[in-house]
Structure 1
Amino acid sequence: MLNALEVVTTVVVGVMVGVEFSVPFFINPILNALPGDNALRGRTHGARVGGAVMPFWYITSLVLVAVWAVAGRDEQGTGLIVTAGALLIVSVLMSVLVLVPINNRVKTWAADNRPADWKEQLRRWDRWHYARVAVIIAAFTLLVAALA
């Protein structure tokens, strides 16, 4: 049963990392290349979709890692799992304190009601998102190392 939990947790976190990695390195560059206000429209739609799905994904990942840490507390690699969990907590805190407030504003924007500093707000979100991606990649790496 522990093996199944390890695999499911690693897959769930790994897919989350892949989705979050794709945003700054693939999705945003594609959106930014679109003409007119289409990039803004894509970002606002992405803010709505991501804002609805990602909280559950982050919390589910954190819960799975916590269950793995408890269930495998006598196994080798538990320290790696606990550290990965701590990193996921950091990513959730980054999200709640910085990224979600910006995201909540972005999802309401349209070409005719965006604030004057909208580009700077998007750049700020992007910078924090890069940092969050680095944190969750580190967490994922620790989970994979714990399997070895």
Structure 2
Amino acid sequence: MAIASSLVLAVMTHAVPRLLAAGAAALAVTSFLVTRFGNVPVNGQIKQWAVTSASADHATILQRWEAFHFLRTTTAFVAFLLIVLLVTVGDRLRKPGTAE
């Protein structure tokens, strides 16, 4: 929903608000992709530890998961901030004399 609503907002607005909404959509997509192709495969490795035992390089695997988690959390948070900025001061970001 974050991706879809940001894209709709980007289509419906102009100038700086459009850029903010498009940026939020791109960041939301990035967050999804990092989760799907970064964290989820590492989660699969970690689940195997419950059946067997942690691998010798478990600290490296956990650090990699942590890096993916930091990236996805940061991109999602910045996307949220862009939407909040757009909603709170969006009218003031348009160029003077432009109408939507």
What TM-score results when the alignment is normalised by the length of structure 1?
0.50
Give the aligned partner of residue 73 of structure 1: 13
Residues paired across the two proteins, number: 88
Matched, 1:62 2:3: yes
Give the aligned partner of residue 89 of structure 1: 29
**Equivalent runs, 1:91-110 vs 2, <5 Å:** 91-110=31-50
Matched, 1:133 2:48: no
Structure 1 position 146, deviation (Å): 0.6
Letter of the 1:65 partner, please give it: S
Q: Provide the rounded CA distance (Å) in 2 between the counterparts of 1:80 and 1:97.
A: 26
Matched, 1:145 2:85: yes
- Structure 1: any 5+ residue segments left out of the alignment? 1-59
> Residues 76, 128 of structure 1: CA spacing in aligned structure 2 closer, same or farther, 3 A cutoff?
closer
Q: Provide the rounded CA distance (Å) in 2 between the counterparts of 1:87 and 1:80.
A: 10
Letter of the 2:78 partner, please give it: A
Give the aligned partner of residue 40 of structure 1: none
Percent identical residues:
30
What TM-score results when the alignment is normalised by the length of structure 2?
0.70
Q: Secondary structure at the match of 1:110?
A: helix
What's the Cα RMSD here? 2.2
Q: Secondary structure at the match of 1:116?
A: coil
Q: Provide the rounded CA distance (Å) in 1 between the counterparts of 2:28 and 2:55.
A: 32
